Every structure is written in structure tokens, then in C-alpha cells.
């Protein structure tokens, strides 16, 4: 379709969609010449690539599963080590989710640990750790203790009576294989207390309470709490990492009943304790905070979370500079297509995590990744615009888009961006918003057959929607979203990092939304406002 034809079609359909409107929706401040482009829009993406640097795949290009970050201050390089479950299951070497590691110093380039596999599953189908689940590595003296989930998919069978238990392996260093401790009695859910005794007991994490020298082991489990089955976090204590005593339930979801609070992490920042967990049902990442290590746990004071579904099984580490980073994985979709089913494991994604004055948690781009992604400017080629669009600062990509009615979409469209990885930066504000505004990706047209990354002030959130714009309503369930407080006439800083199909949006240095978008790489994109007046200031795209 040539540009003139698509512009005509855009106009007529936009007018036709303006239900109840008596007049054509054609007001425009388009400068002469700016709509004369002849480029067809491109909405067929480049195929998925394995060329990832910011958001790496694992060993042998296998997807990364549940992570176990460890800050190795003594290492000359590769201080940030991110152990993970390698997503192979019954591969040629008979491995089921073995542990491997990635390391980095800047979150822009990663290397695998030279040791390769550091923890193997058992080849014996009767052993508890016939497959591995995630866990946690802690150092005591000169020994590294790896607590891990032994998972046996053969349960129930003649020789396997429990699906999951907590096991121990140790090593004198991090970049080497760990030795399983067969004398350590596998920890199972305490009997006779209403736990799911045979299943759902996994993801150990150890917190050292420096004040008392006591280790606290937390485990994701399921339990009958006063007659209701709930996902819970069980707690144990130990003076020595070897003898563990059950101490009851640390958290049971409170007013929320989660099926499983997966991969829980406990950490302290300042005077506040945080309990981080991933909701197995929605895949969203949540946290609770408390003035005490043992609760009671309260939800954040502001928005209920700082990410969506794209940072699953996330955990953090604190470095020697006092900076905390959070790591998780962005799932794949079957067949590397947006229509495919959700798949476990994916690319490693990292944010910087910090405390707000109200002690809620917030995320932003790691400063090292920011610095690494602004080496050179990527020139933007504007394709076209439609509706009431005003360039507010000559010589920059700065526009106010004003749309007077639902589905009468004002837009600015750009030609596809070439590089596999790049960063977009701008600020965004709005003066009125009856509906939404934001960015279009994979634009087959400028108003309907598009993916939307959108600010929805009426719902105080930012969302990624694959739903065609013409079908979006106030009850549409977003493909992925994050709560985000929005008020008129406030300028929000927006950074979007693109690497192939991983798209990470940072909102005003407080929230992030990481999504898998196979239709993003190499497609037409743009800005839009729908029944809103929104300003996008100084859009710049840069690359390493």
C-alpha cells in the first residue's frame, strides 16, 4: 500500500470510526510537505534473533530460568554473578534444569562462567533431585552453601513419595562445580501442620540477620490456613546453616490468596524489610514491607507493584557501592510469535532497584546500561502524521498530538529502526486524556492494526496491548501492565530499551514494564493520542 493511499484510508476510516460524530475529523496543523512521504508502513517484523547482549540468553543459547544473583566483591571482573536454571529438560546429557551462571560488571555485556555447569541434577529417576529447581547461594567462612530445590517429576511413583524438597550442595569457590551434601537431611514440609505434604515446597532463600547471627530460610509452599488452601512462605531458622528449625508461616498473602508465592526473597534496606515474590497465576512481581523481619507485612504505600509479568522469579543483590539490582527473566511465546502460548524461561533482564522516601520500592535503568546505550545517535525518519499534530520545538522530534474524540487517533509515524538494540528517550505529558496516548509498535496502520504501549490516566496505569486499538475498551485485559500514577501537566521521563523482541519501558525512574514483543523489531512505529492531548518532547534514539 503506498503512503498516499494509506493516508486516505486512514482518514476515511478514522472518520467512519468516529461514531456519533457529525463532522469529519480532519483538523490538522500539518506543515506543507510533511505528509508527502511515499513509504509503505512495515509491520512484518524481523524474525527472532539469538543476538542478545543487554538481555542475554543462557549457556548454549538456552533460555534463562529462575535466577540466583550473587555479588562477588572479591572477583577481579564479573562481580555480578547471576546463577540460573538452564532451561533444558531431558537434553542429550540427561539434564533437567541444571544450574549455570552469567557474570557482568555493567549489565550491558555478559559472559558465562568458565566452569560451565555448576550443579547437576541426578540421573537416577528415584532421587529427589532428578530435576533441579532454583535456590540460593550464601557464603559462610570460606564455603559457599547452595540451597536448592530437588524436584522429581516422577512423583508419585513406587520410589518417589514427595515431589519437592530442599537440599544442600557446597563448594570452596563460585566458578566451579558444587558438591552435593548427601548427609544433609532433605527438608520437607513439616508433617501434620496442614501443608501440601507431597508437593509445592520449593525455592529456598537464606537471609542472615546480622544483628543476631541467625540464618532465616524461607520456602515457597502451600498450606491449609484455617480451612483455606493458600500459597504461603514458610520460615526456618538456623545458627549454622545445617540444623534448621521450623518457625511457622512468614506470610500467607494476607487479604490476597495466591496459589504460590514463588521464588520469595527477604532483604533489608535501611530500617525496612522487604518480602519479594512472583505470583504464579498472573506472573506479576509483588512485594510487601515490614518494620520487622517476621512481619506483619504491608503492601506498598503507593502503587501495588513496580513491574508487570516480564521480570518473573526476580531476585536482587546489593553491591559494594550500596546499589541494589533486580534480575528476572522475560518469558518467550511458543514459536517465537506473539500468538504463541506462554513459555517458561527466557532472557535475563536487570533493573536498578531503590527506595523512595515513603520506603516503597522503585526501579530505573542501570546507570551503566544507560551510559552504554548513548554512544551514537540513530537518526529518525518520520514517515507521516495524521490529525492535529504540532511540532513544538523546531529541529527536535517534539510534538503535541490532540485528538478530539474516541478512535479519532492523532499520530506521528516513523520508519523502522535498523539496529538490533537501541534506546529511546523522551518526556511525555498530557493536558487532557479521556482515553489514552503513547507509542505504537508494529504499525500496519496508524490507528487500529497496531500494538500499543499506552498511558491510561483513567486507570492510572501503563500497559502493553496487542489488542487492536479499535477493540480496546475500559474493560480490556492488558497483555501486560504496571500501575503508574498519572496527573495532567506533569512531564514524565520515558526510556525504552529495545533488544530484538525484548522491550523494556522505564517510567519516570519509578516503574518498569518489560514485555516480549515479537512484532517490535524492524517495524514501523510512532506516537499517538486518542481522545487526549499529549506532548512528547525531544524523542531521541541512541545505540551502543
Ligand X SMILES: *[C@@H]1O[C@H](CO)[C@@H](O)[C@H](O)[C@H]1NC(C)=O
Per CB under 6 A, residues contacting ligand X are 27, 170, 181, 183-184, 194, 224, 226-227, 239-240, 242-243, 388, 390, 396, 400, 402, 425, 533, 538, 540
Sequence-separated (6 or more) residues with CB below 8 Å from residue 281: 258, 259
Residue 12 CB, nearest approach to ligand X (Å): 19
In this structure, are residues 180 and 207 in contact, taking their beta carbons and an 8 Å threshold? no
- Burial, 471: exposed, middle or buried (Cβ in 10 Å; 0-12, 13-18, 19+)? exposed
Residue 254 CB, nearest approach to ligand X (Å): 18
Distance of alpha carbon 344 from alpha carbon 330, whole angstroms? 9
Cα torsion 49, 52, 54, 56: sign = positive
In this structure, are residues 446 and 409 in contact, taking their beta carbons and an 8 Å threshold? yes
| Helix (H), strand (E), coil (C) string for 392-409 | CCCCCCCEEEECCCCCCC
In this structure, are residues 216 and 235 in contact, taking their beta carbons and an 8 Å threshold? yes
Residue 424 CB, nearest approach to ligand X (Å): 10
Residue 388 CB, nearest approach to ligand X (Å): 4
Sequence-separated (6 or more) residues with CB below 8 Å from residue 37: 3, 382, 383, 384
Q: Grid coordinates in use for 317? A: 543483590
Residue 113 CB, nearest approach to ligand X (Å): 21
Residue 466: closest CA among 418, 421, 517, 425: 517
**For ligand X, the closer CB: 384 or 533:** 533
Distance of alpha carbon 136 from alpha carbon 149, whole angstroms? 10
Distance of alpha carbon 278 from alpha carbon 220, whole angstroms? 10
Q: Grid coordinates in use for 70? A: 550473587
Distance of alpha carbon 414 from alpha carbon 34, whole angstroms? 12
**For ligand X, the closer CB: 76 or 227:** 227
Residue 298 CB, nearest approach to ligand X (Å): 25
In this structure, are residues 244 and 217 in contact, taking their beta carbons and an 8 Å threshold? yes
Residue 45 CB, nearest approach to ligand X (Å): 27
**For ligand X, the closer CB: 77 or 183:** 183
**For ligand X, the closer CB: 57 or 428:** 428
**For ligand X, the closer CB: 38 or 142:** 142
Residue 402 CB, nearest approach to ligand X (Å): 3
**For ligand X, the closer CB: 144 or 464:** 144
Q: Which DSSP category does 14 fall into?
A: H
Distance of alpha carbon 303 from alpha carbon 372, whole angstroms? 30
**For ligand X, the closer CB: 12 or 224:** 224
Residue 20 CB, nearest approach to ligand X (Å): 18
Q: Which DSSP category does 193 fall into?
A: S
**For ligand X, the closer CB: 106 or 493:** 493
**For ligand X, the closer CB: 227 or 357:** 227
Residue 207 CB, nearest approach to ligand X (Å): 19
Cα torsion 497, 498, 504, 507: sign = positive
Residue 139 CB, nearest approach to ligand X (Å): 12
In this structure, are residues 195 and 127 in contact, taking their beta carbons and an 8 Å threshold? no
Residue 63 CB, nearest approach to ligand X (Å): 32
**For ligand X, the closer CB: 364 or 402:** 402
**For ligand X, the closer CB: 292 or 375:** 375
**Alpha helices of 31-78 — where are they, by DSSP H?**
none
Residue 399 CB, nearest approach to ligand X (Å): 9
Whose cell is 519501558? That residue is 505
Within a 10 A sphere around the Cβ of 458, how many other Cβ atoms? 12
**For ligand X, the closer CB: 202 or 223:** 223
52: β partners:
none
Q: Which DSSP category does 476 fall into?
A: P
Q: Give residue 535's Cα distance to chain centre.
A: 27
**For ligand X, the closer CB: 67 or 241:** 241
Distance of alpha carbon 200 from alpha carbon 193, whole angstroms? 14
Amino acid at each position: 500500500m503506498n503512503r498516499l493511499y494509506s493516508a486516505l484510508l486512514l482518514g476515511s476510516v478514522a472518520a467512519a470510526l468516529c461514531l456519533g460524530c457529525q463532522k469529519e475529523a480532519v483538523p490538522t496543523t500539518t506543515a506543507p510537505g510533511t505528509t508527502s512521504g511515499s513509504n509503505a508502513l512495515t509491520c512484518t517484523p524481523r524474525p527472532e534473533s539469538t543476538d542478545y547482549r543487554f538481555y542475554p540468553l543462557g549457556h548454549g543459547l538456552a533460555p534463562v530460568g529462575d535466577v540466583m544473583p550473587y555479588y562477588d566483591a572479591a572477583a577481579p571482573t564479573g562481580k555480578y554473578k547471576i546463577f540460573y536454571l538452564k532451561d533444558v529438560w531431558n537434553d542429550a546429557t540427561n539434564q533437567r534444569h541444571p544450574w549455570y551462571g552469567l557474570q557482568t560488571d555493567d549489565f550491558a555485556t555478559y559472559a558465562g562462567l568458565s566452569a560451565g555447569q555448576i550443579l547437576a541434577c541426578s540421573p537416577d529417576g528415584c532421587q529427589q533431585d532428578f530435576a533441579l529447581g532454583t535456590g540460593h547461594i550464601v557464603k559462610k567462612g570460606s564455603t559457599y552453601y547452595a540451597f536448592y530445590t530437588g524436584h522429581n517429576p516422577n512423583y508419585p511413583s513406587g520410589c518417589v513419595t514427595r515431589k519437592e524438597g530442599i537440599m544442600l550442595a557446597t563448594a570452596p569457590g563460585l566458578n566451579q562445580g558444587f558438591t552435593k551434601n548427601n548427609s544433609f537431611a532433605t527438608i520437607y514440609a513439616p508433617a501434620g501442620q496442614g501443608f501440601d505434604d507431597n508437593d509445592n515446597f520449593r525455592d529456598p532463600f537464606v537471609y542472615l540477620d546480622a544483628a543476631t547471627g541467625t540464618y532465616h530460610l524461607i520456602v515457597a509452599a502451600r498450606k491449609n490456613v484455617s480451612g483455606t488452601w493458600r500459597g504461603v512462605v514458610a520460615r526456618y531458622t538456623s545458627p549454622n546453616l545445617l540444623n534448621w528449625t521450623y518457625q511457622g508461616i512468614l506470610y500467607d498473602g494476607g487479604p490476597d490468596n495466591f496459589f504460590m508465592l514463588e521464588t520469595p526473597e527477604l532483604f533489608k534496606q535501611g530500617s525496612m524489610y522487604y518480602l519479594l515474590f512472583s505470583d504464579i497465576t498472573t506472573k506479576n512481581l509483588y512485594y510487601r514491607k515490614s518494620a520487622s523481619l517476621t512481619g506483619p507485612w504491608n503492601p506498598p504505600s503507593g502503587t501495588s507493584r513496580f513491574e508487570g509479568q516480564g521480570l518473573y522469579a526476580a531476585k536482587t543483590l546489593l553491591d559494594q557501592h550500596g546499589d541494589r539490582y533486580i534480575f528476572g527473566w522475560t518469558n518467550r511465546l511458543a514459536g517465537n510469535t506473539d500468538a504463541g502460548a506462554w513459555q517458561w524461561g527466557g532472557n535475563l533482564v536487570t533493573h536498578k532497584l531503590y527506595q523512595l522516601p515513603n520506603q516503597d520500592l522503585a526501579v530505573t535503568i542501570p546507570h551503566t546500561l544507560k551510559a552504554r546505550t548513548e554512544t551514537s545517535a540513530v537518526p529518525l525518519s518520520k514517515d507521516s502524521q495524521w490529525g492535529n499534530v504540532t511540532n513544538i520545538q523546531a529541529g527536535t522530534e517534539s510534538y503535541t498530538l490532540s485528538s478530539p474524540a474516541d478512535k479519532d487517533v492523532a499520530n506521528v509515524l516513523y520508519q523502522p529502526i535498523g539496529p538490533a538494540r537501541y534506546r529511546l528517550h523522551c518526556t511525555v505529558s498530557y493536558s487532557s486524556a479521556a482515553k489514552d496516548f503513547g507509542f505504537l509498535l508494529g504499525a500496519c496502520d496508524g490507528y487500529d492494526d497496531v500494538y500499543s504501549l499506552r498511558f491510561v490516566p483513567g486507570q492510572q496505569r501503563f500497559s502493553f496491548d496487542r489488542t487492536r486499538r479499535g477493540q480496546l475498551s475500559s474493560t480490556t485485559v492488558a497483555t501486560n501492565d504496571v500501575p503508574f500514577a498519572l496527573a495532567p501537566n506533569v512531564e514524565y521521563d520515558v526510556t525504552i530499551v529495545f533488544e530484538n523482541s525484548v522491550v523494556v519501558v522505564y517510567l519516570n525512574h519509578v516503574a518498569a514494564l518489560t514485555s516480549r514483543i515479537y512484532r517490535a523489531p524492524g517495524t514501523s512505529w510512532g506516537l499517538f493520542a486518542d481522545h487526549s492531548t499529549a506532548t512528547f518532547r525531544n524523542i531521541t534514539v541512541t545505540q551502543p
